[in-house]
Structure 1
Amino acid sequence: MGTKINIAIDSILSCEQIFSICNNFLSQHPSVEMDISEEVMNGAWEALVDDRIDMIIGASGPIPKQKGIQTVHLCDFKPTFVVSQHHPLAKLSQPISNETLAKYRAVVVHDSARQWIANTHAVLNNNHYFYVPNIEYKIKAQLAGIGYGFLPRSRINHYLNSGELVELQIEHITNPIPLYLAWKVVNRGKALTTIRDMLIANKVQITC
């Protein structure tokens, strides 16, 4: 049986550029199998620590302490607050207050952690949530007008340009969220090291 690499890609990243790098790797190492899964927030770290995967692409902080994990910074996710063009918030004057936002539903991606404490990013205090499994579902839910939320600009530029999604200014300030490539120090297989080094060398292609 040939070598198999298990890689998780965090939902926040678009996979197109990553798959292009994977394709280059596989063309040079045709006997290697790759198993790609999707994780969200702490679920990605949990999968790595529990040895369900060999490497994470796009994991967000905080990085687990004293777990023998090595990381390389990939990019910074800069959250863009958007709603559907038909959402009531799109018609209000800006910036929009937290009190006003509290009257409406937020669309939130579930952390995929099974045992670890679930984490959230760029979520405002609110009691009205619509939970989805990944960023792609979140985009579709917000396009449908179900609620508001932060999304990666690189994934929604065409919807912003078409006017289907509208960017809003709000009182709440959200800082960029660093995303990492991560692996266990003890995992030193040649195939894993090679694809890891290729990802690092081409990380400029990976957009948040």
Structure 2
Amino acid sequence: MFAKTDLELLDCVARLGSFTAAAGQLHKVPSAISYRVRQMEGELGVELFHRLPRRVELTEAGQHFITQARAMLRQMEEVKAQTQRVASGWQQTLRLALDNVVKPHRITALIRDFYRHFDNAELVISMEVFNGVWDALAEGRAEIAIGATSAIPVGGDFGYLDMGEIDWAFVMAAHHPLANNKDLNEEVIGHYPAISLEDSARTLPKRSNWQLPHQRRLMVPDWPNAIACFSEGLGLGCMPRHYAEPLIARGILVEKSLPTPRSPSHCCLAWRKDESNALLAWVLDYLGEDRDQLNREWLN
């Protein structure tokens, strides 16, 4: 119904909340933007934007339309990218969703070995947090997930392997006000922010790392940012032990005991079943089925 440029125009107006701002970004005059939006609203038979004195807001119908429009734009870009890959000899792409808890150096080794083995395929890796891993599988943004935590919260034809458990350490900076306190309780701990990662799920319910009831959170996107906040003494919380131990050994962090210790998290390897996917089959064979080996190499 609408051209790609029309969808991009609507997306720009929706993001900036202004015909004038969109006009500046698209190098057009505001009247041209406003006129084209009116034309599209006329073709649809619905109003997409509420016109307010200094800005515009999406109507309920407009919100639905822009969500679908953005999905179409992503699909168009993917078709374009796939076509370019075919022209360049890259005939296949495998998408991996990795939970932020996995060891970074192991990811590098997988990438190296994949590209050594395949000369006409590419690997696309996304780092996810908590249910964001399952979200990527459920939405088709990934064919395989490594280090997915908790139980499978989505329906579908998935295979999975147990990767064992990941241990957590309750830590804080060595200079944190509670670092020398030997008798920690929930009331004392609750006065300081709990550093936690923001769940990257888009459609599934979000989960959080750890916090006490009514405790303020300090939400960050990944473990490198979390480590920086821990090291600066900006908060306290639970960190995967393989991240925490080197910092504890260097005297940057100290480990303390929680009144109610956090239980280890169960992790797994999960994938969308597809017997025709040779890239997926290679990665699964590469990773192996040994639970202890998977746990040792990727998690602990």
Matched, 1:207 2:299: yes
Supply the AA of the counterpart residue of 2:195.
V
Supply the AA of the counterpart residue of 1:20.
A
| Contact persistence 2:194–2:210 (CA under 8 A) | no
Size of the aligned set, in residue pairs, is: 207
- The residue number in structure 1 matching 2:140 is 51
- The residue number in structure 2 matching 1:69 is 158
Matches within 5 A, 1:132-151: 132-151=220-239
- Runs of 4+ in structure 1 deviating by more than 4 angstroms, as ranges, are none
CA distance in 1, matches of 2:277, 2:215: 46
Counting strand residues as a fraction of each chain, which structure ranks higher?
1
Q: 1:164 to 1:85 in 2, by over 3 A?
A: same
Query: Gaps (5+ residues) in structure 1?
Result: none
- The residue number in structure 2 matching 1:99 is 187
- The residue number in structure 2 matching 1:30 is 119
Matched, 1:130 2:218: yes
Supply the AA of the counterpart residue of 2:97.
A
Is 96-105 or 16-25 further displaced after alignment?
A: 16-25
- The residue number in structure 2 matching 1:86 is 175
Residues 152-200 of structure 1 deviation map (CA, whole Å, 9 limit, x = unaligned): 1212322111111000011022111011111112464011111122113
- How large is the RMSD of aligned CA atoms in angstroms? 1.6
Larger radius of gyration: 2
SS at match of 1:121: coil
TM-score calculated relative to the size of structure 1? 0.92
Supply the AA of the counterpart residue of 2:297.
Q
Q: CA deviation at 1:82?
A: 0.3
Higher RCO by CA contacts (8 Å cutoff, separation 6 or greater): 1
SS at match of 2:219: strand
CA distance in 2, matches of 1:83, 1:23: 35
CA distance in 2, matches of 1:34, 1:175: 34
Matched, 1:17 2:109: no
| Contact persistence 1:71–1:183 (CA under 8 A) | yes
CA distance in 2, matches of 1:187, 1:144: 48
* Percent sequence identity over aligned pairs: 26
TM-score calculated relative to the size of structure 2? 0.65
Counting helix residues as a fraction of each chain, which structure ranks higher?
2
